[in-house]
């Protein structure tokens, strides 16, 4: 079993979200620090992204952020993290997050969260990696997505065996249990941007 040293975190950068989501983000940061796992994320200071990163730092953990320059128009970068790298494009951000992460967790989020998480799932479907991917279904947020993915399999739009490429769990604690039990990767990482 490979020790997971860094986890890519995908989640919302929106403010004003329900407290149940903020609490889960705070707990995730605390758990990352307590397990000595580096948080890798998009570098923002707002929403759940900001909450997880601040909590990780507050609890003595390490945080690496990758933010495209153009996103500064929409959200503030978190200047209080261990490493903040300003990059040229979203593609560069995705690539660097992938390269620096041993696994991925998706807290509740919007279209950006779905985009980044499903790209990682697609890469695994194409056998470009086999890093664990876990959706943290806080407050039932991902229930509709779970129904959609079940329908994709039921209707034959994906192989049933691809269900193993990602998991849904209900709590942050369950997410860590899943990650810590993950087998050592067997796929050589070959993802490169053209």
Question: Can you give the pLDDT of all 194 residues of the chain as single tens digits?
Answer: 358 999 999 999 999 999 999 999 999 999 999 999 999 999 999 999 999 999 999 999 999 999 999 988 888 999 999 999 999 999 999 999 999 999 999 999 999 999 999 999 999 999 999 999 999 999 999 999 999 999 999 999 999 999 989 999 999 999 999 988 866 656 555 555 43
For the 6-180 domain, the top CATH level (class) is: alpha beta
HEC string for the chain? CCCCCEEEEECCCCCCCCHHHHHHHHHHHHHHHHCCCEEEECCECCHHHHHHHHHHHHCCCCEEEEEEHHHHHCCCECCCCCEEEEECCHHHHHHHHHHHCCEEEECCCCHHHHHHHHHHHHHHHCCCCCCCEEEECHHHCCHHHHHHHHHHHHCCCCCHHHHHHCEEECCHHHHHHHHHCCCCCCCCCCCCCC
pTM of the model as a whole: 0.91
């Amino acid at each position: 079993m490979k020790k997971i040293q860094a986890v890519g975190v995908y989640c919302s950068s929106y403010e004003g979200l329900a407290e149940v989501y903020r609490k889960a983000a705070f707990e995730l940061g605390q758990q990352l620090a307590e397990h000595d796992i580096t948080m890798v994320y998009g570098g923002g200071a707002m929403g759940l992204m900001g909450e997880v990163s601040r909590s990780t730092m507050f609890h003595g953990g390490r945080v690496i952020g990758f933010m495209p320059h153009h996103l500064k128009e929409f959200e503030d970068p978190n200047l209080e993290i261990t490493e903040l790298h300003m990059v040229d494009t979203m593609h560069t951000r995705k690539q660097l997050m992938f390269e620096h992460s041993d696994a991925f967790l998706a807290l509740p989020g919007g279209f950006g969260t779905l985009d980044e998480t499903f790209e990682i799932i697609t890469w695994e479907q194409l056998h470009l990696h086999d890093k664990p991917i876990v959706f943290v279904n806080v407050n039932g947020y991902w229930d509709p997505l779970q129904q959609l993915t079940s329908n994709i399999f039921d209707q034959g739009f994906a192989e049933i065996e691809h269900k193993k490429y990602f998991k849904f769990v209900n709590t942050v604690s369950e997410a860590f249990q899943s990650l810590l039990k993950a087998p050592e990767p067997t796929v050589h990482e070959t993802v490169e941007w053209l």
